[in-house]
């Protein structure tokens, strides 16, 4: 009896876990950094000190005006959620953004598209969604749709970048699963939306904007071809920034079997 028949359906996931460090080294390092940061803020600092750190890194209007680069880059060093309260709504959000978004979809994009481009897409989605949302907040404040306290609102985490790669990860699925997945990516932020007037809360707008960035990239023919065609030269031969050779084309039946965007 060979090892494939011994493990059966577990063979693919176990192989994906074993090869994860080679296929997505930067994503693995980022996941470890986020976990360390999460433990440090929630258990290594006092509540007041943690609030000060996160408040300074928050991408609210006041911080974006005062120290934009620090807020934009520092806010993606932590994730807003829980790993322990498994019965809460926050845990569901953690599974989607940190689990499906960073651990799975970002890893797939890095493996499929290369490290440097994965970073560019993730950070680009985070920055673009944050800045466009800030514009919406400014307009909403002028019309009285949001309370003035939103200028100092706590807003940090990986969810905008995660939402962008969740959208791009649609191509990791078989064709029949892509439309339901795209609908899920757009719908889940609306599930907990808080409506104050004609607009939902600004984080919902940010998530929808980030998803639009990801789906917009899929509409670029050159981007789509690179994600669905067999990968080119190994990243080892290009300084770690190129895709690996051993990808399965996303349109094949086995596409996404080893690195699906699922928990």
3-class DSSP state for residue 195? Answer: strand
Per-residue tokens: 16: 């994906």
Percent of the chain residues past pLDDT 90, beyond the cut:
65
Taking alpha carbons only, the member of 192, 218, 189, 191 closest to residue 206 is 189
Instruction: Calculate the average pLDDT of the chain.
Output: 84
Spell out the long-range contacts of 192-196 with Cβ–Cβ below 8 A and sequence spacing 24 or more: 192/89, 192/93, 196/145, 196/146, 196/147
Arithmetic mean of pLDDT, 8-35: 85
Instruction: Tell me which residue has tokens 């306290």.
Output: 149
Q: What is the pLDDT of residues 189-234, one digit of tens each?
A: 998 888 878 999 999 999 999 999 999 999 888 777 777 665 443 3
CA quadruple 221, 242, 78, 54: dihedral sign: negative
Q: Best-predicted range by mean pLDDT among 15-29, 124-138, 236-250?
A: 124-138
Once rounded to an integer, what is the mean pLDDT over residues 10-23? 79
Mean pLDDT, to the nearest integer, of 170-182?
A: 94
Q: Using CA atoms in the order 26, 31, 35, 37, what is the torsion angle rounded to 10 degrees?
A: 50
Is the predicted pLDDT of residue 46 greater than 70, yes or no? yes
Contact criterion met (CB below 8 Å) for 227 and 113: yes
| Averaged pLDDT, 56-78 | 96
The pLDDT of residue 127 is: 97
Give the C-alpha separation, 214 to 159, whole Å. Answer: 13
pTM of the model: 0.82
Task: Write down the pLDDT at residue 233.
Answer: 37
């Amino acid at each position: 009896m060979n090892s494939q028949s011994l493990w059966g359906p577990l063979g693919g996931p176990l192989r994906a876990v074993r090869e994860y460090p080679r296929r997505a080294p930067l994503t693995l390092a980022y996941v470890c950094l986020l976990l360390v940061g999460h433990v440090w803020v929630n258990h290594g600092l006092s509540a007041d000190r943690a609030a000060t750190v996160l408040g300074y890194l928050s991408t609210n209007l006041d911080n974006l005006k005062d120290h934009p680069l620090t807020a934009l880059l520092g806010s993606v060093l932590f994730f807003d959620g829980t790993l322990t309260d498994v019965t809460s709504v926050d845990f569901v959000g953690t599974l989607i953004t940190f689990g499906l978004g960073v651990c799975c979809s970002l890893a797939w994009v890095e493996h499929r598209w290369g490290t440097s481009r994965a970073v560019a897409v993730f950070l680009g989605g985070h920055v673009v969604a944050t800045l466009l949302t800030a514009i919406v907040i400014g307009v909403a404040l002028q019309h009285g749709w949001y309370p003035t306290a939103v200028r100092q609102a706590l807003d940090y985490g990986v969810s905008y970048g995660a939402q962008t790669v969740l959208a791009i990860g649609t191509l990791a699925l078989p064709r029949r699963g892509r439309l339901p997945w795209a609908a899920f990516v757009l719908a889940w932020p609306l599930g907990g939306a808080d409506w104050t007037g004609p607009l939902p809360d600004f984080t919902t707008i940010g998530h929808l904007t980030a998803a639009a960035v990801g789906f917009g990239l899929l509409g670029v023919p050159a981007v789509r071809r690179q994600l669905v065609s067999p990968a080119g030269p190994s990243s080892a031969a290009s300084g770690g920034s190129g895709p690996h050779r051993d990808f399965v084309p996303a349109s094949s039946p086995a596409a996404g079997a080893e690195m699906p965007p699922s928990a």
